[in-house]
């Protein structure tokens, strides 16, 4: 019983720190969601543009339930809020798992947050301007004289938002590899020795994310291959710096 109380006392500071980080994260998401809802009409117009470009004969979407448009706008605002607040969420997560950082470690944390955010934005941009138009062209190619597309507002906007979020997270591969090595979960040679297995996993993931469209699969796979190799290089550089500091 004493050991249980001792464990609770030991965890108490971490519990308080976790609560503080979670509160700040939820506040960031809430604020970003409110701002997104204020400009939701403009966001919806931007999201619809790739679909209208893929099928010019289509000039509007439909909704079949009275509450569908309202609920869809709320869901889209929340997803946009998560995407916009991603740097804050990342920083809060890093500050929780790495307490008591030294000055040079704090500088490293800021660099990690910057590059992770850069990769996330790069993945989101890639999905919206490159992968999404090609996927929409593939889906809309089935339309014809005997088949008229009537995309639903809720399903389409949710598809776009989730795709952007998923691609942004997928581009975090170097950051996740670095974090795994930094936390000591894997050795520096782990990812290099299992390169073939991860390449196959990247191809399968790209195929699923692009709904089986082979051109988009290739367009997503090759950047992820490069990011994977960047993660290996980043891990080597960090390991060398760590050894120099220890010596």
Please report, in angstroms and rounded to a whole number, the separation of the first and last CA atoms in the chain.
43
Cα angle: 6, vertex 11, 14; to 5 degrees: 160
- Least trusted range by pLDDT, from 86-90, 115-119, 188-192, 222-226: 188-192
**pLDDT above 80 (res 1):** no
pLDDT at residue number 171 = 83
Higher pLDDT, 117 or 246: 117
pLDDT at residue number 32 = 95
**pLDDT above 70 (res 168):** yes
Contact 225, 182 (CB under 8 A): no
Describe the chain by its helix, strand, coil percentages, rounded to 5. 80, 0, 20
pLDDT at residue number 246 = 53
pTM for the model: 0.72
**Average pLDDT over all residues of the chain:** 80
pLDDT at residue number 245 = 55
Confidence category of residue 33, pLDDT binned at 50, 70, 90: very high
pLDDT at residue number 95 = 74
- Least trusted range by pLDDT, from 39-53, 58-72, 96-110: 96-110
């Amino acid at each position: 019983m004493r050991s249980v109380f001792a464990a609770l006392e030991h965890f108490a500071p971490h519990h308080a720190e976790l609560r503080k980080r979670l509160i700040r994260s939820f506040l960031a998401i809430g604020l970003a969601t409110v701002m997104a809802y204020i400009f939701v009409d403009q966001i919806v117009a931007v999201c619809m543009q790739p679909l209208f470009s893929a099928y010019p004969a289509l000039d509007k979407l439909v909704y079949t339930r009275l509450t569908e448009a309202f609920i869809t706008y709320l869901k889209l605002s929340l997803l946009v809020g998560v995407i916009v607040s991603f740097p804050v969420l990342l920083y809060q997560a890093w500050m929780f798992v790495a307490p008591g950082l030294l000055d040079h470690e704090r500088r490293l944390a800021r660099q990690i947050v910057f590059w992770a955010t850069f990769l996330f934005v790069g993945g989101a941009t890639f999905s919206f301007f490159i992968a999404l138009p090609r996927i929409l062209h593939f889906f809309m190619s089935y339309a014809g004289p005997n088949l008229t597309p009537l995309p639903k507002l809720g399903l389409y906007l949710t598809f776009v938002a989730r795709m952007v979020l998923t691609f942004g997270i997928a581009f975090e591969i170097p950051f996740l590899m670095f974090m795994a090595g930094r936390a000591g979960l894997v050795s520096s040679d782990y990812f290099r020795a299992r390169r073939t297995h991860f390449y196959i996993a990247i191809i399968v993931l790209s195929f699923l994310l692009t709904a089986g469209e082979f051109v988009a699969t290739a367009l997503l796979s090759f950047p992820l291959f490069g990011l994977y190799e960047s993660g290996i290089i980043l891990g080597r550089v960090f390991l060398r710096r760590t050894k120099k500091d220890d010596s």
